[in-house]
Every structure is written in C-alpha cells, then in structure tokens.
Amino acid sequence: MLYDTLIIGAGPAGLTASIYASRYKRSNLVIGKMVGGTITWAGKVDNFPSQPGISGLELGQKMAAQVKSLGVEILAENVSGVKKEAEGEFRVTTDSGNEFQAKSLIVTTGTERKKLNIPGEYEYLGKGVSYCTTCDAPFFKDKTVVLVGGSNAACSGAIHLSHFAKKVYLVYRKFELRAEPVWVEEIKGNPKIEVIYDTNLVKIVGESGRVKEVEFDKPYNNKTILETDGVFVEIGGVPSAGFLKPLGVDFDENGYIRVNEKMETNIEGVFAAGDVTTKSLILPQAIIACAAGATAANSTFEFLKSK
C-alpha cells in the first residue's frame, strides 16, 4: 500500500500528527518502537492541559488509543532505512525487514537516553542500573537508590522513586537544580530525598551480580564511596534520526534536524517535529511536541494537495 504520509515515531508529536492527518483524510501509518514515546517514563505529568496528575504511561496510551480509533495502525518497530525513489516517493525499511511506501514522511523519533559511560554502567544494566524510574521504581521498595541528573525529568523521577525507596540520593554535577521551581520545592520538602551537588559518578561497583555502591569524583560526608542498591540515570537525551542521513537531511552540530516554522526539512516531502528537531530546544515539552506534530501534519497536507 502507498500511504499519503508515513509517520516515524510514536510519541506525542507523531501521534498528534497522525490524528491530524486522519482528520485531513490522508492515509497514514505510524511506526515507532516505543508507543507513547519517552513521556511514558514519567511517573506523573502535571502540566498537560486537562490531565493534571496523570502518569506519562496513561497519557501516552490515551493518545495512542485516539489514533487507533481513527483506523490507523501503530507498528511497534524501528526504522532502519529510508530511500527516495525516482518517482519522488519514499521507501521505508524496518529492522524486521518490512518495507512501506509513502508520498511524504513526518519524522518524530525524539531522543535516546544519554549514558554516563562510566565503569560498571553497562555491566549492571538491568541489575541495579536503570534509565526508567517509572518502569523500575517498584523493584527498589525500602531500598537505597542514587539518581543522577538535575532536570525536570530527574527531579520528578526522584519524587516518584521516593514513593518506593527508603532513601533517594539525587546527584547533580552543578550547584543548583535546573528543574522548574515547583519540582525543586517538592524535592527540598521531601525527607526521603537528599541532593548531592557539584558531584559526578565515576564508577558503579557491584557484588554477586547486583549494584552495591557508587564512587564519586569528590568526597561526600568525607567519603567518595556510597552504598546503594540501584542507580538511575536521567541526564537528558540525544536525537535519534541517523537513518535520514542518506537522504541528505540537514542536521545541526548536535544531531537535531533543522526545520522551519512549517516543520519542513531541506528535503521536499520530509517533515519533522518534536524533540528530534532544533525547534524543541526552546522548550522540550509534550505539549510543544503535540503542537509541532499538528503543524507538521498541516504542512504535509498542503504539500500533498499541491501535488
């Protein structure tokens, strides 16, 4: 089947783009390994209009359900390659070898979690090291954990962890948390959370196949070693759209897709929206991604109409 629009990425931007494309009566398919996107990792979302206190997982599921209610399929796969054919159409290949054709593309692949790249991080992944507080917090009931980061996601993650763990150490490399004031205030008022500033993790040590302790680059309470049962890493993300490079899509120096106000890339028929674009750097929030997805769908509709 030749789709009017193929949407690569199943987070808020991609799901919103699909909803708008369907309302424009344009056939579309959504391909994305993580249905709902990284918002599903948020323990609580308090700033999405009409949905106060909703979990990120539930918010993502609601968006996906609306897409499916319009008759659109969401394929849980990764895209591995994209080619532009002589007729101007696009051929998209997934990791499993499936191929799809489309007249236009909307890329909303978001970002992948940054890694600390320190000894022990990969060795103990899934054995005490995690990049998802929402997914793994229940495994640390009445235990001690370390969370690395200082952003909104890190602070909200620490608060979520505090509902399960007996002690949460929030380790940040700078002197002041960079989260929204409401999150910072809640962190400071939570007796289970202790913030360790101006400090970096340099090593994760385990015993009997599980995380046992972490090592800091400077002393904390006169020691550089802290015993812990788990380490959560929440230090931001890097854009995930390398499969577009053979098309000649323009990226900035950090790997974000350059788009204009219409979410157009430099390649005709290729649009992008959400955290994978340079536009997201102003305010990387789900509501902004949704708006960008709607804009991309409208621009795609105008593009197809012109053809």
Q: Which two tokens stand for residue 139?
A: 């495994």
The predicted model gives 219-243 an average pLDDT of 94
- What percent of the chain has pLDDT above 70? 100
- CA–CA gap between residue 86 and residue 183 (Å, rounded): 52
What pLDDT score does 123 carry?
95
Which CATH number describes the domain made up of 129-233?
3.50.50.60
Q: How many Cβ atoms sit within 10 Å of the Cβ of residue 206?
A: 15
pTM of the model: 0.82
Q: What is the pLDDT of residue 145?
A: 98
In CATH terms, the fold of domain 2-113+237-306 is: FAD/NAD(P)-binding domain (3.50.50)
Helix, strand and coil content of the chain, in percent to the nearest 5, comes to: 30, 30, 40
Quote the CA–CA distance of 228 and 170 in Å, as a whole number.
12
pLDDT the model gives residue 125: 92
pLDDT at 297: 98
Residues contacting residue 147 through CB under 8 Å, at least 6 positions apart? 133, 154, 157, 158, 161, 168, 169, 170, 171, 231, 232, 233, 234
- Mean predicted confidence (pLDDT) in 160-186: 96
Cα separation, 203 vs 129, in Å, equals: 12
pLDDT above 80 (res 189): yes
Fold identical between 2-113+237-306 and 129-233? yes
**Could you tell me the end-to-end alpha-carbon distance of the chain, in angstroms, rounded to an integer?**
19
| pLDDT tens-digit readout, 267-289 | 999 999 999 999 887 788 899 99
Place of tokens 């309302």: 23
Give the start-to-end residue ranges of the domains of the chain: 2-113+237-306, 129-233
- pLDDT at residue number 280: 83
